[in-house]
Structure 1
Amino acid sequence: MTNRATNLERRPALNSVTVLSSDGQPIASAFVRIYYCTDDTSAWTAESRSQYTAEEELPMIYTTGRNGDPWTSSSAHTWSAMPPADLSTVTAIGVEVTQPLENGDYIEVQVNMTAPQYATDEIEDYYGKYISNSAMCSVVRNSNTGDTIALSDRPENQEVKCVLDLPKGAIGDYAFYDQNQNGIQDAEDLPVVGLGVRLITTRITANGTQTTTTETTTDFSGYYLFDDLDCNIMLSGKEDGDPDDPNHYVGGVIYQYQVEFDMPPAGNDGVYVPTRQYEGGDTAVDSNIDRNGRSEILRLGVVSNPDTSRLEGQRDMTIDAGFVIPAALGDYVWIDLNRDGIQDPDEPGVNGARVRLYTVDDSGKVSDAPLAETVTAAKEGKDGYYFFDNLTKGRYVVEFDITSLRNDLGLYQYGFTTANQGAGDHPETADSDAKNAVDGNDRIMRTDVITLDYQQTDLTWDAGLVYYSALGGYAYDDRNYNDVQDLGIPLTGTKMSLYRVIDNVREEQPIATAVVDENGEYLFEYLLEGEYQVLFEYPEGYQAVLPNIGGDDALDSDVFEIAPDLNSGYTQTIRLPANSISLHNDGGARLYGAIGDYVWLDANKNGIQDAGEKPVQNVTVYLQMREGGSSIWKKVDTTTTNEKGYYVFESLKGGPDVDCQYRVCFDLPGGSVATVPYAGSDRAADSNIQGFYLDGWGYPSDVISIGYGQRDMTIDAGIVITSGSVGDYVWLDTNRNGIQDEEDTGLEGIRVVLEYSPSGDVSDDTQWILVGETTTNEKGYYRFDELFEGYYRVKFQILKPYTITLVNQGDAALDSDGRYQLEGGWYAGRPFYLNEGGFDMTWDCGVVLGSGGTTAAAPGGGVSTGDRFAEAAGCSWLVYPLLEQWPLASLYPGKGEPENTNDCGFFSR
């Protein structure tokens, strides 16, 4: 028993049963009887059939009857020789044939069924699904001799399977001779008979592609057909996916096709080539093949027939091929040495010029893409020729492109000569036809529209070229101030103007202008031989370098005729021969920096330029410079402040390409001293001079390094008139040498106190009285002003992780003085005597991270003022306005008492 099965969700339906004899003809109905069973499909399951014997289930196979007697229904199934009204209800059929058979005869039974109906989006529900059935036959009637075949000799049933597939499609149609060469199948066009046609099939899966080729020929009417072709349909929900992904298609495969046609054999009039492709708007009557005889890539789909709603494979009957005997055109690109636009015998051809051919439609529009492209080459030993063949009748434009024709330096050397000069003794076949510019540089030119007739060869389309000269150079930024272009920095933004020089006189108007490119280069092309000058106009603020420096023309500046403001200039006259290039007409310029700004009377002594404070004029200001890492300062310039207190030093070198530093010294008026430096956060409103005086120069600023072209207008000097001042600086001693080096930096926020000894007994620590307290500013400076004559000492509070550096290691203005260690992180300098009106800016303290220099015990023993600072609980500490707040008598025993004291025993407000 063979089980009947299917994985289809819907049943196929019976259409008809046909019985054929060995000769393929239907057997007469008198000898054929068909039995139909309409039992439910469940009756044919293996489980149901196992309940019956073979004779009970299939009596027409397993029992023997007499000729002409109909079989009756068995106990297992109901059989009827009358077909039901609805054949879709039939679940099994039996066929009895009583026609005698001779030796070698056979019977063919054809069962025609209709596959289940599915919509397009249900294709994947039945594609590749199978139907498993069974068929068998047996001789059950007596033979002519009356013999009966035993049951044991009757054949077993055979399994029959079928698989449902997608509908098949087809591709065809027609090959023709395009008599009028219009690319369309007209009534007068003739078919191409017996032409070889190939279908190239590409099967694409996720694992790769497989290509096969099928061949046929056109029939007597010029038609061809490839049918039974696999179609494509995308899976439901993948319609918007990647159309080239085979996993998005039913069956996981894409079928692609391309039709390839042979060329018809050559005739008496020439060789055939494909006609125009895709002409007109009707795909049924155009030609699909390209110049190689191939169609576009095709894919067939599955569509629903609107009349029957059945799914059908696409049939593309529009893939046609038209053929013509072609025309041709050409001819020549040459050097017009005498620039007359005529091809003279001694003028050579030019190889390597690119030539393109474009089609022109009936409206006069030139096609976007060229139909063909070539380069000029030698023909019969002569250079400069081109040729386009296999052309159809129509309208064309030839394009000449000389952008690839350059000299050994990669620069252009040709232009187009004057077109259409042929006349009289010089016919148009000997002139130049390149007249219509395509690009802005006139290196691509086109002819007028050319009308080409059927089978015409037109060799009259030429292009003449002329040699031109060029002139260029380089604008450079001289950032190391040596006048030559050794840094290779382009000076972008430089404007160039080219002037012709006639009889040693420069013309008033330039013949061309340009701006140097991002590389600093410029180039003037298409120049005739002659004399020229180039004007360099540098960006604002730049000044021209000195010309002809260094002896190397490739590296110097050639700008000799320089304007008074140094911002522009002309080269010397440049003599330019024919067919030459002059590329070293260079010009350099540079920016200069400046240092300045202001001297004022700091009335409130706060180190900041406040409103209402007066400028100081006629102060002598010196500018010093050192170079190359030298420690020697040299004077660069001297000036004085004007009536508004300002000064400035111009034309200064600066930037990373030069090794120079500056400082400014202010020779202040007698009786005045420098205010506290670097007060506040505004660098444009503070004072920059230090508190020590350089003999012969004045009070110096810190070291100044200016950027390239930078104008540093922040170097100011504040002046104060004071009865006495003490200061100066707390710094981080990075190299631990106890000296204020240039690379060291100041520390902000360090507490500093000033103490006074009224008795003059500096060894008695109990005699020191606090007279001022402050903190260092952002740059590490501090200051006590308005001091009377007497003994003082300065104390610095240096807390972890810092400690003091080495003391007394050099010049008093640059060493560290915080020597005596007290409690609470305080370090005291030695006592000193301040004369009346004294200005002592030498009391500094250097600190280091971790352990530092040598300290000493406080002189005189006992408890220092610093100890009382640490032990006094609940005291609020103020920055004292110094001694001017207290009468001097209050500092001496018996000379009066202070107005009040706090619980700690110190003066307070």
Structure 2
Amino acid sequence: MARHVLAALVCAVALLGMSAPLLVASADDTDGPLTVRVVRGEAGVGGILVVATDPSGASVSGVTGPDGAAQLATAPLSGGKYRVDASIPASMSDLKPAAEDANRASLTEFVDVSGGKAVTLTMGVGAMDGPVQLGDRTWFDTDGDGVQDGDEPPLPGVKVQLLACDGGGAPLAEKTTDGAGRYLFGPAEGLQPNTCYTVRFDFGGVNTAALPGSPPVDGLKWTTPRTGDQSLDSDVDPSAATVRVTVGPPGSVDHTVDAGVVGGLNRVGDVVWADVNRNGLQDPGEPGIADIGVRLQKADGTPVAGTSTGPHGQYAFSHLPDGAYQVCFDTAELPPQYGDYQLTKPRAGNPGQDSAPDPATGCTAPTELKPDRTQDLTLDAGLAPPVNRIAALVWQDDDGDGQAGAIEPGIAGVPVKLRSEDGTQFAMTTTGPDGRYAFDDLPSGSFAVCFDLANLPPSAADFTPVPKSAASGADPATGCTSVVTLGLGKREETTLNVGLAAPPNRIGDRVWTDTNRNGIADAAESGPSGVPVKLLRADGTEESTTTTGADGQYRFSGMPDGTYQVCVDRAALPSPVTGYQFTRPRAGESTKDSDVDLATGCTRPVSVGVGSREDNTVGVGLLPARNRVGDLLWVDRDGNGAQDPDEPGAAGVAVTMTDTEGRPVATTRTAADGSYLLDDLPDGTYRVCFDLGEAYRDFRLAAGEDGCAGPVNVGPKPHEDLSVRVALVSGNPAVVPAAQESSSGGGGFPVGWVLFGVVAAFGLVVGVRWWKAAGQDE
């Protein structure tokens, strides 16, 4: 492919009438056949690998047959000029390169088969029984890579001196490279086996007219040494123009002491690399990228030349006239493994270590080449992968359908962990106010997202993932999604959402008939079915209704978090409990007693939500209608006649029902919350009297001075008066007792006193006002 691209570029330049040189030679479809023959003496040697390499680096190979010959087909190659190398296999340890002469070339040679010329190249091998020989070739290193390419010209006229090992003294021998750039030292020049020498090169007398661009001699310099194969690279130390060699035993032949020269013309270039971490800098370990199209143009956009990057991402344009140039990089067709890479951010560091092209245009800024600035090797280009990203949503799945509804909110503050494929934690974040989370700037690789269900925010502390689906990707058992892979072809993953649902809220218990009237649901007491039960919200609106089932059981389920009351309408009680009353509330163990207020038919407020999803203790006791009186005795601290939240019930106070003659009819004590109930009364008119005792000696009833309230009428209809609510007020400025557990049947009574914090005079005024108000009520 590279061959055809380069050929097209050459044709384009020709059509434009341009003479600017290219780094590679143009393809020549009329290359002639190439035959390579390897001989030992006059006999052919089979089994020798021979390789022909064209200027682009492409090659064909063959193995010599029994006659020592191998035919190399040049049709797949380009350029017409080739470097030919022969390799002696390790199995032929008795062979070595033979001395070069008029009939035998060395094992590295250069041929030209352009224009259909047929070439037969004879290379020699031998044993350790011939003369010693030292030498090889000087050449003009057109692309400056330190390696001899097939189309790079020889450099004749170089003076080569053979010196003693230390490089001192007069030359032992001297040669001048021939038209092929060759030189040889042998026995005729005094070359001895097992001897160290220094070889010195001097290009001061060469004629550069035939070299590309005809560079002046004083602009030449030795190329970079030892960049590759010993038989193909340059061995000369650029600072001294010498190389030290040691001739081996008799028969040793060394055709590897080459010398390459560069310079004389302008050049630009450097490398295209993979900027894996996207920092715009060439970091250790970041590889060069081969086969990237590179175009050279003048500052006005006029095309000059084109090439593609080499195996390590390197490129160069050389032998350029003075002028301003731009280098442009083709990122439209990248190698498959870099298919979606883009030019990295430019000029992020020192020139030559950063990226030069503008990502918007793919071209560098113009660089000017002139006599005092003959090269610019800082025009590197970094290709960076797009950002890998995982981003999704954690939402509250209110309707449990596994889909994020339009009005279902995101859940903020959910810890989200990113784990690599082996389970190690890679990163962590939390969801934002909208329930969204993101992991940005991720490397290519495989990841799973895990939601920390043990540390959910308080508002969702007991939520769990809905069943795994396309819309909600977390396993309810582990809280983790499936593994996803990010990289080439998939840079972003946005489907790892998870819906979290609250466990269902439930409120219930049963309605039972309290046959023994003790306020406790005993084992033998059954419940009626068909009793209507309502669930009211905190604002009094209806949430749901149901009726009791077998044995009086009822349940409300699935209501939103909040506070509710369970209410039973006595007027709607079915047969056989029509006309029944509610039994006295909170008579004992919460799981067995009745919670319904006698007057309202509603239970205490019941809250369900996070941390309290179920309350199955909201019982309702019914009993046959009888006469009864009751309600509440409480400490009215501010004297407003209404029980405020901070005003306690008066617990443990003895309560006596008296008839019109003052005779006791029934007695009880106030419960821990100050409530009381006088039950099973005969029809009649009564007063309710309270014995405040020692605990409340400094208080009096707001409604009367004799400690009694009334009169109250019960039976035959109505059977009850549950509105006898009585306030205690302070007779003198004093502390108010707090509630404590009672030793009597009421359950609790106040033993502490709370200081009013008012002055005596103000207390007296308030007391007089209460007294008058109470008198008016009577």
Question: TM-score, normalized by length of structure 2?
Answer: 0.38
More strand by share: 2
Structure showing greater Rg: 1
